[in-house]
Amino acid sequence: MSIDRLDSRLLNALADSPRAGVMELARQLGVARGTVQARLDKLQARGIVTGFTPDVDLPALGYEVTAFVTLDIAQGRLDDVVSHLRDLPEVVEAHSVTGPGDLLCRVVARSNRHLQQVINSILEVQGIERTATHIGLTEQIAFRVLPLIRHLGQD
């Protein structure tokens, strides 16, 4: 499931101008409108492009605390816990992991006091045996995929 140079250029153009329409992208890339549309459709169908949502700065919305919470889950309770976490808007990401803990969650909060409330809400579901919380101080590298896309496009 690799991408070619044109796909890479298209994804970079979208990242640089996320509000650009197909016609504008075609102009920037020097290809036909139909080519851009077909490539976008194909990237979506393959699950490479999963959405066109805006990037949102959570601290600007008042969520200035980011924490990473590791959950130890009782056997057979993962689905229950994940279902519960989906209902908590402050849980912005969750991954099953190896090593210490079973689930790693990124959560956001307005303050440390609010973070405690979020953790208490997380613990309302049966099946969580233990948690460990690490508060993020400053983001050093934001979630990114463009360097990887640029690398893949060089193949």
- Of 90, 60, 96, 55, nearest to 78 by C-alpha is 96
- Note whether 5-54 and 59-136 share their fold: no
Question: pLDDT class for 101, splitting at 50, 70, 90?
Answer: very high
Give the type of residue at 105.
Answer: C
Q: pTM for this structure? A: 0.84
Phi, psi of 53 (to 5 degrees): -80, 155
Region 125-135: what's the mean pLDDT? 97
> What is the percentage of the chain residues whose pLDDT exceeds 90?
79
Q: Look at domain 5-54 and name its CATH class.
A: mainly alpha
- What are the residue boundaries of the structural domains of the chain, listed by start? 5-54, 59-136
Q: Is pLDDT above 70 for 155?
A: no
| pLDDT tens-digit readout, 74-96 | 999 999 999 999 999 999 999 99
54/143 Cα distance (integer angstroms): 14
Distance of CA 108 to the CA centre of its chain: 13
Region 46-50: what's the mean pLDDT? 92
Residue 1: predicted pLDDT: 62
**CATH pick for 59-136 out of 3.40.190.10, 3.40.1080.10, 3.30.70.920, 3.40.50.300:** 3.30.70.920
